A and B are shown apart, each in its own frame.
Chain A
């Protein structure tokens, strides 16, 4: 019964591959981003599995130390620059943001298309570096090692530089879109929280990325001309590189997590059928995180020889940034409390997020404490911490978001049964992979080593097996999502009974989003006040 799908929608109108590659439609650009980003995730994931396979048993099994260094660097760099930073904003955000505020498109459609092409260009340069000998510096490209190694540092950092532009373009577009293109009646405090989160993210994208850009340029010039700025032998300071780098990269972790938090708010409200508790607090906490996030970069350098006073200040500020994150967690929990929760696949991922991100966040506070960090610095504890945040946080939210908006994007439902199975496998596999790493790390297993003493054998083996369980979950997910194109039943406009604007148009939406200009009369999460529309197809 295909009658619920509009005959003409953004997927089939206009036709032809050129109409996709040169489209100005934010929905198509979002889908193209989604495809590109999932490919990057696959590639980064393959490198991760190789790394884990090497670590299955003690001893050098598969590769030399040099190759290992390249493997984890490629894994890290791809996951960060190609996958997680653009993931939610550029893919899901591009698709959903204009729909959610009732706009016909983002403010600068051409710039939006340019950002996708720049992303592709950056990706090609990154792939080129893999074949030109890869990089073995770790994704942070720390000097002085990065100025000395013979690997393809220049092309890889240039790739990251180029990718930065695509991030800035998306950021500019979102800020202007939110300011200028909201539908009549959509006041700031009637905006869905996902929009607030993307707005805060965009602020960080435009304020932090240029600093990374110039830092990478300086590094490239250091390699080409030995300009001496980062080289102590020539009167420079290698720690300056770290300051520049983390001035971007700490805020960048909020580029990674804030959009995920935004998705969380949508999922929690929709699947608990309740108004978000403390909407304004949640909205403002995004902006607070964005701003305070600029003041804490020095917690990555506690052991680098920066002054003690600086370390103490950075440590204190780091605790401060925990507050707005905790505000969000408590508000979601309060929203869930006594809600009529339904455990569909997206909601499962929201629950995973609540468990794993909380662990990641709390262990972040451990690492922000000076004394503790000196012990845990560069151990597997750190590796576990950032995977709990990035994967347990952002990736879980991303998966939740994909499942949540899938019916809107393609007009089809996926198999709920397989969805739940995959969700459980991902959760079990994830914790199996990374929880042992907290234990190993606390016991002193250093990160980035390709070999280890046999005492750590059990934990490493458990971690590797966990990564296979997780992979199985992802394979199942890929299968049922792709299958949904042919077998999925029509989704209807609003399968979840959600209240935000994107659910008022058809699925998939028509090329111009709405048949008539929507006018907003109620808040996006006012489930308490409004009885959700009874068009709950698929429930």
Chain B
């Protein structure tokens, strides 16, 4: 519905023009991403402290993680970031069908990530490499190995929740794109989804070396 003042339908009434609206969304999204980083910041901080307290144990315990699976997941996530970026590009050029395909690809890759994560988790549950008081595994040398797994499950778990959240948003974007909400003039929501998805990717890119590759 465009109103009598000639506003395009996507422009909310309290903005003067589309540019102001887009700039506002962007700033808001960036601030939100900062809060996300700070949320993970607490965990990174805990990681640093316990790693400096128990360096040997961290070293021994990280061998229990599966580098191959972690590595594949890293590639999967980076690829999904790429398809996401391309989806935005296509919308900028007004190619709705391509945008749709690329969004589906992103969603699919996110799903692959979770499936691999599921196998990793299941294996650890099976071995008793669980956080805190549920930790029963005996194969790791050093004091308090359960802390490593507490940190591992917290960080990857919180990240996993973000992946799930991201998938929800991407699915919604697919629906809106299919419905024809977006055009070369207006694609801000997809762009914001992209920013969020890059952050999810970026956090994993920190988690992977810190947890899987330390040495």
Q: Which residues of A contact B (CB under 8 A)?
A: 103-105, 107-109, 111, 168, 171-173, 175-176, 179-181, 206-207, 209-211, 213-215, 217-218, 221-222, 225-229, 234-237, 240, 244, 512
Q: List 19 A-B contacts (CB under 8 A).
A: A104-B14, A172-B35, A173-B28, A175-B28, A181-B15, A211-B38, A214-B39, A217-B158, A218-B42, A218-B154, A221-B154, A225-B134, A228-B144, A229-B46, A229-B150, A235-B143, A237-B49, A240-B46, A512-B13
Across the interface, A179 reaches (CB within 8 A) one of B15, B27, B46, B158, namely B27
Known A-B contacts A103-B14, A108-B28, A234-B146; A213 and B34 likewise in contact (beta carbons under 8 Å): no
Residue-by-residue, is B123-152 near A (CB-CB < 8 Å gives 1, otherwise 0)? 000000011111000000001101100110
Chain A: CB-nearest residue to B28: A176
Cβ contact within 8 Å between A206 and B27: no
Report the bound CA distance from A168 to B13 in whole Å.
24
Cβ contact within 8 Å between B14 and A181: yes
B24 to chain A, nearest CB (A): 5
Chain B: CB-nearest residue to A105: B14
Extra A-B contacts (6), CB below 8 Å, given A207-B35, A211-B38: A175-B28, A210-B39, A211-B42, A225-B134, A225-B150, A229-B46
A29 to chain B, nearest CB (A): 13
* Residues on the B chain within 8 Å of A214, using CB: 39-43
Cβ contact within 8 Å between A227 and B42: no
Cβ contact within 8 Å between A206 and B34: yes
9 closest Cβ pairs, A-B complex: A235-B144, A214-B42, A227-B150, A226-B133, A104-B14, A210-B38, A105-B14, A227-B132, A210-B39
* Residues on the B chain within 8 Å of A244, using CB: 42, 45
Report the bound CA distance from A240 to B49 in whole Å.
9
Across the interface, A210 reaches (CB within 8 A) one of B28, B35, B46, B50, namely B35
Asked if B36 CB lies within 8 Å of chain A CBs, one says yes
Number of A-B residue pairs having CB atoms within 8 Å of each other in the complex: 112
* Residues on the A chain within 8 Å of B1, using CB: none
Report the bound CA distance from A145 to B210 in whole Å.
32
Across the interface, B132 reaches (CB within 8 A) one of A108, A213, A225, namely A225
Report the bound CA distance from A214 to B27 in whole Å.
24
Known A-B contacts A210-B39, A211-B38; A218 and B28 likewise in contact (beta carbons under 8 Å): no
Docked complex: B84-128 residues within 8 A CB-CB of A: none
Asked if B181 CB lies within 8 Å of chain A CBs, one says no
Report the bound CA distance from A512 to B40 in whole Å.
39
Asked if B23 CB lies within 8 Å of chain A CBs, one says yes
Cβ contact within 8 Å between B50 and A211: no
Residue-by-residue, is B15-36 near A (CB-CB < 8 Å gives 1, otherwise 0)? 1000010011001100110111
Cβ contact within 8 Å between B132 and A211: no
Asked if B54 CB lies within 8 Å of chain A CBs, one says yes
A228 to chain B, nearest CB (A): 5
Cβ contact within 8 Å between A213 and B31: no
Cβ contact within 8 Å between B13 and A104: yes
B18 to chain A, nearest CB (A): 13
Report the bound CA distance from A435 to B72 in whole Å.
65
* Residues on the B chain within 8 Å of A172, using CB: 28, 31-32, 35
Across the interface, A215 reaches (CB within 8 A) one of B34, B36, B42, B132, namely B42
* Residues on the A chain within 8 Å of B151, using CB: 229
B86 to chain A, nearest CB (A): 28
Report the bound CA distance from A228 to B130 in whole Å.
12
Report the bound CA distance from A280 to B132 in whole Å.
52
Cβ contact within 8 Å between B34 and A176: no
A145 to chain B, nearest CB (A): 18
B35 to chain A, nearest CB (A): 5
Specify which of B20, B24, B34, B38 lies most central, judged by the most chain A CB atoms within 10 Å of its CB.
B38
Chain B: CB-nearest residue to A512: B13
Cβ contact within 8 Å between B147 and A107: no
A84 to chain B, nearest CB (A): 21
Report the bound CA distance from A37 to B28 in whole Å.
26
Chain B: CB-nearest residue to A202: B31
Across the interface, A176 reaches (CB within 8 A) one of B12, B27, B50, B143, namely B27
Cβ contact within 8 Å between A107 and B28: yes
Cβ contact within 8 Å between A210 and B31: no
Report the bound CA distance from A527 to B13 in whole Å.
33
